[in-house]
Amino acid sequence: MMVNDRITILGAGTIGMSWAALYLATGRQVTLYDPAADIESKILSFIDSAKASLTALGWEHAGSSARLIFDCNPESAVQGAQFIQESIPERLELKHQLYQTIEPYLTEGTVVATSTSGLQLSQLQLGFNNPAPLILAHPFNPPHLIPLVEVMGNAKTSETLLKDAEHFYQSIGKQTIRLKREIPGHIANRLQAALWRESIHLLKEGVASLEDIDKAVAYGPGLRWATLGPNSLFHLGGGEAGIGGFFHHLAVPFQSWMDDLGSPNLDTETIELLTRSMAQLNQKTSSEEMRQRRDQLLVEFLQSVQALDCR
Ligand SMILES: NC(=O)c1ccc[n+]([C@@H]2O[C@H](COP(=O)([O-])OP(=O)(O)OC[C@H]3O[C@@H](n4cnc5c(N)ncnc54)[C@H](O)[C@@H]3O)[C@@H](O)[C@H]2O)c1
């Protein structure tokens, strides 16, 4: 039997349904608890829409809902589960309430992995009498395609369960990274926030349109970052002298750009500007066209990475 053959998903909105589609595609049994009235039709339609991408990535059971079980109460949904992925709304009291409800029904050795984007593990642990099974496992949207999972435990977490979870994610094609300590927004969202903050600043200052700012990322640094990440790329940018050579040429100008970066607030005026600018872009490219482009290019890029790593 495969590792974590029986998985429970708690909360199946944007993130939970994407996890569910991936776990089902790998052939696992998925039990799902989400109190939303229309959850069954939403999930089935999402599984169907994710089928082509997951098939292209080589998952034999992509699009199948044969092993999907809907359960309308959390206590029975977690019973017998070998792995639990919690993706309910980002509200501490709601997560605490759910943890208190499920804790008496957990099987020993079962991981409870929370997808939380910003809540701290130490706060979340207060929802358990024994928080050892709770780990942070923060995915990037959409988790059925994006490989990154940020993983963290602390002194109260079972190291064995944390390692088991890392191996499990890696076995289904995920790239896990470990946070050494907690910090708001973990790692990847902080990096995103830094870039997004400057893109909003450039828009507010009238330096370029929202469309051109997005293009500047997608056709320039974004393409490169997908291959190696900024530090390794700057190392290559230094030529034979590596990162030392890069600093020699560019430390002073980079420092001056860093000193000049903006710090806009997400106030009403800024939000209205961004919303208006996005509506303009949507007149040229619909959200559905954007989604299709994102998923198609992601799949093709990931296929190339798979092929390269298998050589
Ligand atoms: N949206 C993102 O880009 C993103 C990315 C990474 C991580 N996350 C994290 O994933 C989690 C879920 O985010 P989302 O964007 O999928 O939210 P969402 O609002 O799309 O979905 C939440 C789902 O949970 C259900 N729900 C509400 N209360 C519940 C309960 N008590 N038990 C079970 N289900 C319940 C809702 O009906 C809904 O379907 C959050 O912690 C968020 O921070 C979100």
The total of other beta-carbon atoms located within 10 Å of residue 145's CB is 22
Domain with residue 93: its CATH number is: 3.40.50.720
Distance, CA 72 to ligand 1 centroid (Å)? 17
Same domain, 160 and 57: yes
Contact 61, 24 (CB under 8 A): yes
- Structurally, the chain folds into a number of domains equal to 2
Same domain, 42 and 145: yes
Judge whether 246 lies within some domain: no
Judge whether 75 lies within some domain: yes
Same domain, 209 and 69: no
Judge whether 247 lies within some domain: no
pLDDT of residue 6: 98
pLDDT of residue 46: 97
Same domain, 157 and 38: yes
Q: H or E element: which one contains 161? A: helix 159-171
pLDDT of residue 77: 98
Say how many residues make up the chain: 311
Judge whether 243 lies within some domain: no
Same domain, 19 and 135: yes
Same domain, 206 and 303: yes
The domain of 194 spans 188-227+265-310
Same domain, 221 and 113: no
Alpha-carbon torsion (32, 27, 137, 104), positive or negative: positive
Per residue in 9-44, pLDDT (tens digit) is 999 999 999 999 999 999 999 999 999 999 999 999
Same domain, 141 and 219: no
- Interacting residues of 143 by C-beta distance below 8 A, sequence separation 6+: 15, 18, 19, 22, 115, 149
Distance, CA 115 to ligand 1 centroid (Å)? 8
pLDDT of residue 310: 83
Helix-helix angle 230-237:242-260, to 10 degrees: 120
Give the residue, out of 8, 9, 10, 14, with the most ligand 1 atoms within 8 A of its beta carbon, to mutate for a pocket test: 14
pLDDT of residue 4: 94
Residue 177 CB-density burial (10 A; 0-12 exposed, 13-18 middle, 19+ buried): middle
Same domain, 109 and 216: no
Residue located nearest, by CA, to atom 41 of ligand 1: 116
pLDDT of residue 302: 95
Residue located nearest, by CA, to atom 39 of ligand 1: 13
pLDDT of residue 311: 77
Distance, CA 96 to ligand 1 centroid (Å)? 14
Residues of the chain with pLDDT under 70: none
Residue located nearest, by CA, to atom 27 of ligand 1: 88
